[in-house]
Amino acid sequence: MASFNTMAGCFLASALFAMVVGKVSNALVSVHPLEKPAIAVAEAAPEAAGAAKPAELPPIGPKLKDANVQHGEALFKQQCFTCHTIDKGGVNKVGPNQWDILGRKKASHEGFSYSSALQQKGGEWSYEDINHMIAKPQAFVRGTKMAFAGLAKEQDRADVIAYLRTMHDDPKPPLP
Ligand code: HEC
């Protein structure tokens, strides 16, 4: 009951606030028409903030099950190889070597100077994390050095991840 009252109180308070703002803005508009756009921007702000949130990606697991490894390899050569080698013991280029990336601790490849943003991300590279990283690096790790626009197509990402999964020494992490 208490919380209902609180909520009702909040609602009333915001309704009152809206009324007051309405009155004030009317007054301002009549005095000075230029105030109107400023108020319109303030009212639109919550929506704009919502739209700026990174889009939720559906889980990649179902797409991985029938992913095309050959297509993934071709995509890797086209899209990733400029910056990443993937052979075992391969050099770091603009980005770190990708051998054994699945299950590897983030920002842990020897000899590569990672951004502090990626170093602070923490955890290991799961299927989902790589999915997010290659969909939109900046949305997943704000401030990452990976200057890559992203693979927009879900099946392309699944194919690349399926290929990454084959470049691995240990038993591969089970599919999600
Ligand atoms: C323009 C260069 C560039 C391209 C293209 C690029 N990357 Fe990267 N990538 C980087 C850099 C630089 C980093 C290090 C990011 C940091 O330190 O913030 C990185 C980091 C990564 C990481 C994390 C590595 C780790 O050790 O934690 C993964 C995974 C990754 N890239 C996968 C890919 C895949 C897959 C592609 C292709 C679909 C790709 N990248 C395309 C530059 C690139």
* Measured distance CA(7)–CA(72) in Å, rounded: 52
Q: Find tokens 């994390």 and name the residue.
A: 129
Give the C-alpha separation, 1 to 133, whole Å.
Answer: 45
Q: How much is the pLDDT for 122?
A: 96
Ligand 1 shell residues, CB under 6 Å: 79-80, 82-84, 94-96, 101, 106-107, 109, 114-115, 117-118, 125, 130, 133-134, 144-148, 151, 160
CB atoms closer than 10 angstroms to residue 132: 18
**What pLDDT shows up at residue 169?**
80
- Residue 55: predicted pLDDT: 61
Q: Is residue 176 assigned to a domain?
A: no
Number of structural domains (the chain) is 2
Q: Residue 133's pLDDT is what?
A: 98
**Pair of tokens at residue 80:** 């990733």
Name which residue sits closest to atom 17 of ligand 1, judged by CA.
114
86, 109, 120, 148: residue to mutate for ligand 1 pocket, most atoms within 8 A of CB? 148
Q: How far is the CA of 174 from the centre of ligand 1 (A)?
A: 23
Per-residue pLDDT of the chain (176 residues; tens, 9 = 90+): 455 566 555 555 565 555 555 554 554 444 455 554 554 444 444 444 443 445 689 999 999 998 999 999 999 999 999 999 999 999 999 999 999 999 999 999 999 999 999 999 999 999 999 999 999 999 999 999 999 999 999 999 999 999 999 999 876 677 77
CA of 122 to the centre of ligand 1 (A): 16
Assign residue 84 the CATH number of its domain. 1.10.760.10
Structural domain range at position 152: 61-166
Cβ-based neighbours of 174, under 8 Å, separated by 6 or more: none
d(CA 102, CA 165): 6
Query: Considering the domain boundaries, does residue 144 fall inside one?
Result: yes
